[in-house]
């Protein structure tokens, strides 16, 4: 046999021996485990089967959850920068008898996370005259992460002559994300009033939002000059569907039911409006 041929045979035999030795090293089925001393083996360094964790994850405890999601406290540091916000919640038109009527509700604030100066207004213009309008200027103080106490003045511009009230109330986000404004008023000659407004926003999509609303106004005394009787004066329930073209502006369609208990009158109206904020 020539020298090149002998070299080729030697290389082939060497490769075959190496492959056989490697197979014997990893083929545990050929091992006699009955003759092995398992007491002397270090099982801690044995590699676990594929798909199993090297170090098991311990069970989740209440302490782990508390550390990951700490409870909100009002003692947390609040930013002191001054910011502002203005929301036109409702600016809408509807058919009236006669003509077309316009109604609005808007509010905004100027201040920090804890202390704010609030401005609120709402009213309606119908048949060429303003049938109801008021403006409130309030100081608000955050007392919990979700609630503010407010106090200040309210000025009624219509109906009748202007009238001033002292105001105190609570506003914020109740459980299940109900937005609530509850305000009490004290006016001249010991007159009292209260207003409660509840809103909810139901996201049908990221931009299509259904907004139910309920508002009730009460008075403690009769006021014949303004056509007001004691007890529940007016109640309104509305349902408005808006589409946010942009987050800052959204046209809407809706239906509103309003009842005046003074004359036992009620009115159902379809509304078209615009909502926006700055």
Express each pLDDT in 179-202 by its tens digit.
999 999 999 888 999 999 999 999
Residues 242 and 274: their CA atoms lie apart, in Å, by 8
Q: pLDDT at position 11, please?
A: 55
Confidence band (pLDDT; 50, 70, 90) for 229? Answer: confident
Confidence band (pLDDT; 50, 70, 90) for 147? Answer: very high
Express each pLDDT in 149-179 by its tens digit.
999 999 999 888 899 999 999 999 999 999 9
Confidence band (pLDDT; 50, 70, 90) for 97? Answer: confident
Instruction: Give the pairing of strands 178-186 and 192-199.
Output: antiparallel
Q: Is 121 left (phi over 0), alpha (psi -120 to 50) or beta?
A: beta
CATH code of the region 83-277: 2.40.160.40
Domain residue ranges in the chain: 3-68, 83-277
Query: How many alpha carbons fall within 13 Å on the CB side of residue 74?
Result: 9
Confidence band (pLDDT; 50, 70, 90) for 7? Answer: very low
Given a cut of 90, whether residue 60 has pLDDT beyond it is no
Q: What percent of the chain has pLDDT over 70?
A: 76
Q: pLDDT at position 174, please?
A: 94
Given a cut of 60, whether residue 39 has pLDDT beyond it is no
Q: pLDDT at position 164, please?
A: 96
Q: pLDDT at position 169, please?
A: 98
Express each pLDDT in 250-269 by its tens digit.
999 999 999 988 777 888 99
Q: pLDDT at position 161, please?
A: 86
Q: pLDDT at position 26, please?
A: 47
Given a cut of 70, whether residue 4 has pLDDT beyond it is no
What is the residue whose two structure tokens read 């609120």?
A: 120
Cβ-contact 178, 201 below 8 angstroms: no
């Amino acid at each position: 046999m020539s020298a090149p041929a002998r070299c080729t045979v030697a290389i082939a035999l060497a490769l075959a021996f190496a492959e056989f030795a490697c197979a014997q090293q990893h083929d545990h089925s050929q091992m006699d485990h009955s003759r092995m001393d398992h007491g002397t083996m270090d099982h801690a360094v044995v590699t676990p089967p594929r798909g199993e964790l090297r170090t098991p994850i311990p069970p989740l405890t209440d302490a782990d959850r508390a550390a990951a999601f700490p409870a909100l406290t009002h003692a947390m540091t609040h930013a002191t920068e001054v910011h502002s916000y203005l929301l036109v919640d409702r600016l809408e038109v509807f058919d009236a008898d006669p003509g077309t009527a316009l109604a609005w509700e808007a509010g905004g604030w100027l201040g920090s996370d804890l202390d704010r100066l609030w401005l609120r207004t709402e009213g309606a213009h119908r048949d060429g005259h303003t049938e109801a309008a008021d403006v409130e200027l309030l100081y608000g103080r955050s007392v919990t992460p979700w609630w503010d106490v407010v106090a200040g003045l309210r000025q009624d511009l219509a109906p009748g002559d202007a009238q001033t009230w002292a105001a105190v109330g609570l506003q914020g986000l109740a459980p299940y994300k109900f937005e609530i404004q509850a305000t009490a008023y004290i006016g001249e000659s010991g007159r009292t009033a209260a207003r409660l407004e509840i809103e909810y926003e139901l996201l049908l999509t990221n931009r299509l939002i259904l907004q139910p609303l309920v508002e009730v106004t009460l008075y403690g005394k009769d006021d014949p000059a303004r056509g007001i009787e004691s007890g529940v004066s007016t109640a309104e329930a509305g349902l408005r569907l808006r589409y946010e073209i942009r987050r800052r502006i959204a046209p809407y369609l809706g239906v509103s039911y309003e009842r005046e208990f003074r004359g036992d009158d009620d009115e159902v109206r379809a509304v078209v409006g615009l909502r926006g904020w700055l």
